[in-house]
Amino acid sequence: MTADERNVGFAVETMTNSEGTPASYAALYRHELLDSVLPFWLKYSKDEQHGGYFTCLGRDGKVYDTDKFMWLQGREVWCFSYMYNNVEKNETWLNMALHGARFMEKHGRDAEGNWYFSSTAEGKPLVQPYNIFSDCFAAMAFASLDKATPSDRYKEIAVTTFENIIRRQHNWKGIYNKAYPGTRTLKSFSLPMILCNLSLELEHIIGTERVNELAPIVIREVMDVFYKPEHGLILENVHPDGKFSNSFEGRLINPGHTIEAMWFIMDLGKRMNDQLLIRKACDIMLHTLDYGWDKKYGGILYFMDVLGMPPQQLEWDQKLWWVHAEALVALAKGYALTGDERCWKWFKKVHDYTWAHFRDEQYGEWFGYLNRQGEVLLNQKGGKWKGCFHIPRALYQVWKVLEGVDIGSKK
């Protein structure tokens, strides 16, 4: 980035909501990505001694815990290789991705090829591979790295991991499932949701035909099985036949999950030239955002109950970084693909809330956890769940989507 471009970024940062155009927002998001967020992780997360990344970083980047979480290792490998592939051939980014990949190759999997949930700093397993999302992000990581520096080894890791995910998809917790068999069997929205995106990430390896076979299956799961038109909302858990379960898990709504999934579906709709699918995804996204928006304090609630009962999650009313980041992506894509003015109005509203509450001007990067009132609840920049993923991905997506949008043509 040139000095002039950086100056544009700083100038845009001070704009008022009414002055913002897609081009000015695009410049702002580019600046935040390249001059704040990526440099933060480059500076503080690399473990020079044992390999891999530290993700438990305080507000100022200081490491406060050295455990490593394999899904966050995969996310960071993906992030830096993706930026290398799509922004510029920055060798620092590629070396950062390779650094994490080496740790994952050496320490990440059990004898059956399942990816552990966590390890010590040195790479000794801590938590068994109960969580298939470690596998999902490992597959994404090595597929993206293969694009950056093609390797039969990276392809093999990505493909075998992907095939393992497909094999485990209907019972992905396996021996680690705590539920008593046969009493209340539920299936989760999370995996079909992520398969929408994962299949596209691996297309250059698994082939277009395989993606074309998988896409209708995951689209049907998301848009017909978990989506309930009587509510206009997507449930987090349903019975295997798609029926509603009147239980804590069955009534659960996670607005952020739905909103993120809808931009995955929009991407598939664009790929398939299916404007009706894009429109449906946009409408579900907008309805979910309106439903999940905290009418009293602003921001998007974390968990809700579709029948208005008390959620079992005590953190239900917190405001989380990833939820708002994914909403910004979905709204930008919705506006670019449909021209729906509601998307643009909501984008500016969510942007104003997000940048006012999550962004840390003093130390860079973003806070992850706010209380309902919008005050910082925990001021660390990373941990067991937050790493180098949602924010950089969202900043990149919004930048690239909005730089190609002419607001005048949308009116």
Digit-coded pLDDT (tens) for 367-404: 999 999 999 999 999 999 999 999 999 999 999 999 98
Residues 59, 40 contacting (CB under 8 angstroms) = no
In the numeric block, which tokens belong to residue 69? Answer: 């979480």
**pLDDT averaged per 10 residues, the chain (length 411):** 42 51 97 98 98 98 98 98 98 98 98 97 97 96 98 98 92 84 92 90 96 94 97 97 97 98 97 97 98 98 98 97 98 98 98 98 98 98 98 98 74 42
- pLDDT the model gives residue 1: 41
Task: Tell me if 399 is assigned to some domain.
Answer: no
CA distance 189 to 211: 19
Task: Tell me if 310 is assigned to some domain.
Answer: no
CA distance 388 to 181: 36
Task: Tell me if 81 is assigned to some domain.
Answer: yes
Task: Tell me if 147 is assigned to some domain.
Answer: yes
User: Which of 350, 402, 396, 329 has its CA nearest to residue 30?
Assistant: 396
Q: What angle do CA 118, 73, 121 make, to 5 degrees?
A: 50
User: Which of 108, 105, 121 has its CA nearest to residue 56?
Assistant: 121
- pLDDT the model gives residue 361: 96
Task: Tell me if 209 is assigned to some domain.
Answer: no
Task: Tell me if 93 is assigned to some domain.
Answer: yes
Amino acid at 267: D
User: Which of 280, 291, 396 has its CA nearest to residue 338?
Assistant: 280
Task: Tell me if 32 is assigned to some domain.
Answer: no
In the numeric block, which tokens belong to residue 279? Answer: 């429109």
Q: What angle do CA 95, 197, 338 make, to 5 degrees?
A: 115
Is this prediction's pTM over 0.85? Answer: yes
CA distance 145 to 81: 5
Domain range for 107: 45-178
Q: Give the residue carrying structure tokens 């989380």.
A: 320
Q: In this structure, what DSSP letter does residue 196 have? A: H
**Which tens digits make up the pLDDT trace of 48-72?**
999 999 999 999 999 999 999 999 9
Task: Tell me if 166 is assigned to some domain.
Answer: yes
How many domains in the chain?
1
CATH of residue 104: 1.50.10.20
- pLDDT the model gives residue 407: 60
Q: What angle do CA 391, 348, 59 make, to 5 degrees?
A: 35
CA distance 228 to 386: 30
**Which tens digits make up the pLDDT trace of 199-230?**
999 999 999 999 999 999 999 999 999 999 99
